[in-house]
Structure 1
Amino acid sequence: METFEEFLANIEKTSHRERLEEIFNWLDHKYPQLEKAIKWNQPMYTDHGTFIIAFSVAKKHMSVAPEAVTIKHLEEDIKKAGYDYTKQIIRIPWKSDLNYSLLEKMIEFNIEDKAEHTSFWRN
């Protein structure tokens, strides 16, 4: 969690900070091979130097950014979960439960799909 300490410390609302800590702890336990970094003021996870997933904070929601390809690939699952989304982000209201199964699908897809990638973003 050390990499994300400053980011988390700057989240004013305690419940929002605790929720992200819970998510990051889950990610660290489930995917210990992923590297953590802060880039563009966002906590993100990478694998062998390639982007896997990032998070950001807004007043009414957190945003999950797995890349457009992943959102398109899992669009039906995102709709079923009831989340609002764009081409690049999924908005999860603070009051909504986090669908960990969906988060796992996003991460697994990116790890597998980008296994041979050598660049940070998909081309």
Structure 2
Amino acid sequence: MEAFAEYLMQMKVPQHRARMAEVLEWVGRTFPGLEPRVAWNQPMFTDHGTFIIGFSASAGHLAVSPERAGMERFSREIARAGYAQSKMLFRIPWERDVDYTLLRRMIAFNRAEKAHCKTFWRGKA
């Protein structure tokens, strides 16, 4: 994923870089129609110019942001997966497995719900 090469090279911990690359490549392979980009210093994927999902890295976890509507829709599943969450994102500790089934469902939900969205974020005129 050439769009993320510079972002990944800035990650100092090799295991974190490898995990982030794995997740980003999985999204790209699973949803080839999504557009990869870095904005606000975060790797993200968009569809027809609208935000679908974003990722960020911290010392303790990989954060996943499916926008607030995605968090609300999948809050119970996120909790069942054992991930901590806030209103806008959930955190996957670096040492934990990624629940790719949950990630696939979130991305598919956002794509379907935002199929006709003409703005980057939901609810923005």
Deviation at 1:24, TM superposition (A): 1.2
Corresponding position of 1:68: 68
Corresponding position of 2:88: 88
SS of equivalent to 2:4: helix
Deviation at 1:25, TM superposition (A): 1.2
Distance 1:103 1:120 in 2: 20
Alignment of 1:1-123 (within 5 A): 1-123=1-123
Structure 1 residue ranges without an equivalent (≥5) = none
TM-score (ref. length: structure 2):
0.97
| Partner AA of 2:37 in structure 1 | A
SS of equivalent to 2:96: coil
TM-score (ref. length: structure 1):
0.98
Deviation at 1:116, TM superposition (A): 0.8
Q: Percent identity?
A: 44
| Partner AA of 2:45 in structure 1 | Y
The runs of 4+ residues in structure 1 deviating greater than 2 Å are: none
Distance 2:89 2:18 in 1: 21
Bigger drift between 52-61 and 20-29 goes to: 20-29
Pairwise CA RMSD of aligned residues?
A: 0.5
Distance 2:60 2:20 in 1: 14
Structure 2 residue ranges without an equivalent (≥5) = none
Deviation at 1:35, TM superposition (A): 0.2
